[in-house]
């Protein structure tokens, strides 16, 4: 039997979901873009599977997870739902086997040897793993990502691996409340994206923008915003 609490929770999630899509629509219109060009990745790390289930019932299909051990039970619980699972956390060699086997996308590839490992471990019966290269645009030591000057070699490596498909770039810029600073970081990523395209790489995905700055990201060309708090509410303390 459905409880009043579950009904209220579901109603609140529906309200949040509609509000995020309205922000995306308004930002796209303000940028002179077609809103249908922009996708929504629900960053579900730290949230229970019940919250993901409620959101997928509203029509959400793409979910992002950073912690492998937290993600795997969610993938099992929601198996058969026609969902797309994106790994967005820092990559480690000892986690590549499960990531290669269980996820559809990886947004955080930043080293050639990890690309080769993912390629080797991607099961043959699955389509190629969709890949974004994570770029580090700030000096923050806790942030992962390839340096801009290393992108060309990394992109060439991924493009040459048959079990991976290079789709685009991702970044997590230094937090700022100033839209001009937010836009400046995303403009740098867009310039790197365009440079790789001019070099012959068939890229179509700019994974940039979060709850606090998705408008700035869309103004600078984002095709996929990664939203957690605005969809699910505050996240519990980070897990290791």
**pLDDT tens per residue across span 169-219:** 999 998 899 999 999 999 999 999 999 999 999 999 999 999 999 999 999
- Confidence bin at 55 (pLDDT 50/70/90): very high
The answer on pLDDT for 131 being more than 70 is yes
Mean pLDDT of the chain: 93
Work out the angle between the directed axes of helices 49-57 and 4-30 (0-180°, nearest 10): 60
Is the model's pLDDT at 238 over the cut of 60? no
Instruction: Say yes or no to pLDDT of 234 above 60.
Output: yes
Residue 65 has pLDDT above 90, yes or no: yes
Question: Once rounded to an integer, what is the mean pLDDT over residues 13-18?
Answer: 95
| Closest by Cα among 22, 40, 26, 19 to 219 | 26
Structure tokens at 22: 């309205």
Write down the pTM of the prediction.
Answer: 0.93
Band of residue 5 on the pLDDT scale cut at 50, 70, 90: very low
At 81, the pLDDT band (50, 70, 90 cuts) reads very high
Per-residue pLDDT, 189 = 98
pLDDT of residue 140: 83
- Mean pLDDT of all residues in 228-240: 76
For residue 2, pLDDT beyond 50: no
With both helix axes pointing from N to C terminus, report the angle between 68-77 and 49-57 in degrees, rounded to the nearest 10.
Answer: 50
pLDDT at position 41: 98
Rounded Cα–Cα distance for residues 51 and 29 (Å): 30
Of 109, 136, 135, 106, whose CA–CA distance to 41 is shortest? 106
What span, in angstroms and rounded, lies between the C-alpha atoms of 224 and 51?
21
Q: What is the mean pLDDT of residues 140-152?
A: 92
Is pLDDT at 10 greater than 90 in this prediction? no
CA distance 151 to 133: 8
DSSP conformational letter for 193: H
Q: What pLDDT does 8 receive?
A: 52
Give the integer Cα–Cα distance in Å for 199 and 66.
31
The enclosing H or E element of 84 equals strand 84-87
pLDDT for 97 equals 98
The answer to whether residue 132 scores a pLDDT higher than 80 is yes
Q: Supply the DSSP string of 108-133, one letter for each residue.
A: EE--HHHHHHHHHHS-TTSPPEEEEE
Question: Per mean pLDDT, which range of 4-18, 69-83, 207-221 is the poorest?
Answer: 4-18
Q: What was the pLDDT predicted at 11?
A: 87
pLDDT at 138 over 60: yes
Domains and CATH numbers, the chain: 4-232 (3.20.20.10)
């Amino acid at each position: 039997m459905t409880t009043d609490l579950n009904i209220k929770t579901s109603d609140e999630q529906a309200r949040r979901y509609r509000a995020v899509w309205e922000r995306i629509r308004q930002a796209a219109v303000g940028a002179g873009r077609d809103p249908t060009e922009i996708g929504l990745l629900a960053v579900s790390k730290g949230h229970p599977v019940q919250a993901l289930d409620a959101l997928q019932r509203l029509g959400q299909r793409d979910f992002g997870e950073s912690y492998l051990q937290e993600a795997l039970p969610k993938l099992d619980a929601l198996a058969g739902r026609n969902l797309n699972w994106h790994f967005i956390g820092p990559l480690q060699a000892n986690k590549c086997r499960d990531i290669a086997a269980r996820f559809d996308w990886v947004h955080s590839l930043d080293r050639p040897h990890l690309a080769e490992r993912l390629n080797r471990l991607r099961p043959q019966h699955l389509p190629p793993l969709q890949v974004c290269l994570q770029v580090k645009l700030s000096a923050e030591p806790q942030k992962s990502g390839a340096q801009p000057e290393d992108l060309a070699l990394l992109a060439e490596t991924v493009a040459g691996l048959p079990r991976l498909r290079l789709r685009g770039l991702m970044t997590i810029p230094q937090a700022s409340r100033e839209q001009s600073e937010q836009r400046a970081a995303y403009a740098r990523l867009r310039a790197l994206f365009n440079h790789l395209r001019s070099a012959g790489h068939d890229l179509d995905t700019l994974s940039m923008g979060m709850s606090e700055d998705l408008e700035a990201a869309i103004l600078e060309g984002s095709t996929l915003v990664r939203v957690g708090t605005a969809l699910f509410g505050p996240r519990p303390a980070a897990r290791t």
